[in-house]
Amino acid sequence: MSCIPEDQWQIILSFLACPNLLKLSLVSTHFRSITTRTYTLISQSRTNHLSKNDPITRFTKNPISCYTIAAAASVASSSSKSNDEAKIIPFLSQMHNEYDAKRQQFTSLLERFQNLRTIILHDLEIMQDSILPIINACPAARSLKRLELHNVRIVHDRHALALPPPPLPANDDGCNSGIGLRHVVVSGTMFCSYQNVLKSFTTSPHLQYLELSGCRLLTDGDVHHLITTRTRLLNSHHQDIATVNTTNIYSHSHNHHHINDQLHSLSLPNSPKLTKPKLKSPILHTIDLSRCPHLQTLPKFCCPNLIDLNLSYCSKLMDETVMDVVTACPVLRRLCLLGCRGLGEIRLESGSLRSVNLDLCEGLRSVGFECDRLNALQISMCAKLDKFTFTGSSLTELNLSLLPMDELKLSAPSLKDLNLSGCFRLNDSGVECTCPALESLDICGTEINPKIFRRGRGDGAKKIDILIGGSALDWVKNSY
């Protein structure tokens, strides 16, 4: 985009309606400066009453020329009431009206329900952070358990989530189960700071699920503060339980309940400022750091109870980081590395992994597994992976589609579904497979003869469903 001159950008943007142009200004500082100059240029063209032969005057035929209501009034008074001038509409005024209407709509809607436990709102771009005071003041704020705000745009530190304290249960036995916010999802584009706005979404003592997607200013220090605060809260709960239940025969059940009230799932996708966050939590089960383009490493990673880890599209992630993380998670079951272009030679050793996704890792050259319990494996469209060898007794699903490999050695007695479609270099001489339980096979776009997989009639095994067809196309050579 930098190769396009700014005056050309102004001409292009002049054909956008005002609502879309204002949304575009929130994308980046570059677009914000261009749109601001466009507004200024248009305003000057109206003020100076340029002739219609001037190239800038054509901007005045666009509705964004009425950027302010005052400008619209000035234009209307100075115009000759031509057809072009009569069609000019104050779009900013329309946006204000739409904002007021939506605010009134949300306010009246939430006032109708006194004991709401779940609020899920979509398409909140025009509301920005003004939706937060409405939620804070609604009658259901004290009983709220689940809050989801989608397509939010927050560019200022003006408002924060400040729910009133939830009521105590009728029969308070020392355990505050069932009260407070437990599930929070906020997604969109947020340029607000952690200390002033984002932190307010993380303060509920009984929070179990937290997703903050699109936090443009979230830093490694903010994540460390969040994890440290939740861990300190967990330790304080343990101390309180040990004090209260010293002589209580139900202390074990109370302790288990308080552990379940802690943060189990943390999702921070689309956070471009995360590079080396420190994640150390004894209670987290799920972590999602997908689409963090500058994430390089995870220093001092320690999550002994982690089950699900999503690092997809972290293009700067290196081999050593992934292998160290897998080693540090003794109960990890699902690992997603989709689109991690920085991976080259990776070897995973785990006694707990069930599912691994390595699709679209274009730099991957070699991969090895020592995972006795691995059930599902996906490795497709890895343009540099020319050989694959696997031995495992638990594998049931294997997707190796669109790989430029010419050698396949596979020993998987439990494998039922095998996808080799698009492996254009693979032929009979390069395949060594021992898969007695195979039920479904896709060899479209390969030079493999299906006869090498078919079983004889006397084997007593189920017939294999083989999908064939298509020519072996060299997609690597023909790719852009």
Domain boundary among 38, 65, 89: 89
pLDDT of 247 reads 44
Q: What is the pTM of this model?
A: 0.76
pLDDT of 236 reads 64
Q: Quick check: 332 and 350 in contact, CB under 8 A?
A: yes
> What SS3 state is found at 186?
strand
Domain membership of residue 190 (yes or no) is: no
- CA dihedral of residues 453, 456, 459, 461 (deg, nearest 10): 50
pLDDT of 451 reads 84
Domain boundary among 70, 89, 108: 89
pLDDT of 354 reads 96
Domain boundary among 89, 109, 141: 89
Work out the angle at residue 420's Cα, subtended by the Cα atoms of residues 415 and 424, and round it to the nearest 5 degrees. Answer: 155
Domain membership of residue 378 (yes or no) is: no
Give the amino acid at 76.
Answer: A
pLDDT (tens place) for every residue of the chain, 480 residues total: 556 776 677 677 777 766 677 777 777 777 777 776 665 554 444 444 444 443 333 333 333 333 333 343 443 444 444 443 333 344 445 556 777 888 888 888 888 888 889 999 988 888 888 899 999 999 999 999 999 999 999 988 989 999 988 776 555 444 444 468 999 999 999 999 999 999 999 999 899 999 999 999 999 999 999 999 988 876 665 454 444 444 454 444 444 444 556 899 999 999 999 999 999 999 999 999 999 999 999 999 999 999 999 999 999 999 999 999 999 999 999 999 999 999 999 999 999 999 999 999 999 999 999 999 999 999 999 999 989 999 989 999 999 999 999 999 999 999 999 999 999 999 999 899 899 999 999 999 999 988 888 765 545 567 889 998 887 777 777 654
H or E segment and range at residue 348: strand 345-349
Nearest CA to 351 out of 363, 368, 369, 365 is that of 369
- Number of domains composing the chain: 2
Q: Quick check: 267 and 288 in contact, CB under 8 A?
A: yes
pLDDT of 17 reads 67
pLDDT of 55 reads 37
Q: Which DSSP category does 295 fall into?
A: -
Domain membership of residue 234 (yes or no) is: no
> What SS3 state is found at 296?
coil
Domain membership of residue 394 (yes or no) is: yes
pLDDT of 2 reads 55
User: Beta-carbon neighbour count of residue 60 at 10 Å?
Assistant: 22
Q: Which DSSP category does 40 fall into?
A: H
Domain membership of residue 480 (yes or no) is: yes
Nearest CA to 263 out of 232, 298, 241, 221 is that of 232
* Backbone phi and psi for residue 129, each to the nearest 5 degrees, phi listed first: -90, 5
Domain membership of residue 108 (yes or no) is: no
Bridging pattern class, strands 286-288 and 417-419: unpaired
Domain that holds residue 38: 6-89
Domain membership of residue 117 (yes or no) is: no
Give the amino acid at 417.
Answer: D
Domain membership of residue 156 (yes or no) is: no
d(CA 262, CA 468): 51
